[in-house]
């Protein structure tokens, strides 16, 4: 079996069913060793801030890819991106963000392009084909 493409990925979606389905899809494609799942953008950003403190010791816990939903309560995907922009250059360089959303609003697509850390915009649900073609 081939070595996974990524050390770790993170799913951020308030819908636990979507997180579970996406997690199973990621596991089935074997693209990563570790999957971190968050049901809120606030907890995900706090997780990244805490990991940043540890990266002097070991940078591995940072996710290589973050799959980010847009429409979430308390903190939406764009608010997460605003906070993410405040993180260290090392973190922003390591973590590539994929907007994973059910939104087909062209304004959301255009808005996501304003963030250099956003590498792709994918509509839900994740598929094995999409994951296998993912190259960021």
Q: What is the pLDDT of residue 55?
A: 63
Q: Which of 106, 116, 100, 109 is nearest to 10 (CA)?
A: 100
pLDDT band of 54, cuts 50, 70, 90: confident
The pLDDT score that the predictor gives to residue 72 is 96
Angle at 97 between CA 92 and CA 101, to 5 degrees: 155
Contacts with 119 (C-beta within 8 Å, 6 or more apart), sequence order: 96, 97, 98, 136
- Do the Cβ atoms of 98 and 134 come closer than 8 Å? yes
**For 11-25, how does the pLDDT look when each residue is reduced to its tens digit (9 = 90+)?**
999 999 999 999 999
Structural domains in the chain?
A: 16-133 (3.40.50.2300)
d(CA 57, CA 130): 33
pLDDT greater at residue 57 or residue 109: 109
Arithmetic mean of pLDDT over the chain: 92
Residue 128 CB coordination number (10 Å): 12
Could you give the percent of the chain with pLDDT greater than 70?
Answer: 94
């Amino acid at each position: 079996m081939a070595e996974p493409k990524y050390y770790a990925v993170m799913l951020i979606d308030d819908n636990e069913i979507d997180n579970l389905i996406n997690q199973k899809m990621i596991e089935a494609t074997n693209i990563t060793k570790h999957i971190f799942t968050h049901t809120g953008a606030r907890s995900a950003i706090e997780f990244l801030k805490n990991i940043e403190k540890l990266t002097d010791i070991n940078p591995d816990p940072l996710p290589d890819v973050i799959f980010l939903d847009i429409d979430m309560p308390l903190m939406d995907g764009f608010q997460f991106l605003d906070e993410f922009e405040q993180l260290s250059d090392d973190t922003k360089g390591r973590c590539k963000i994929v907007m994973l959303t059910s939104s087909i609003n062209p304004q959301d697509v255009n808005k996501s392009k304003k963030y250099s850390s956003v590498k792709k915009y994918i509509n839900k649900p994740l598929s094995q084909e999409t994951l296998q073609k993912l190259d960021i």
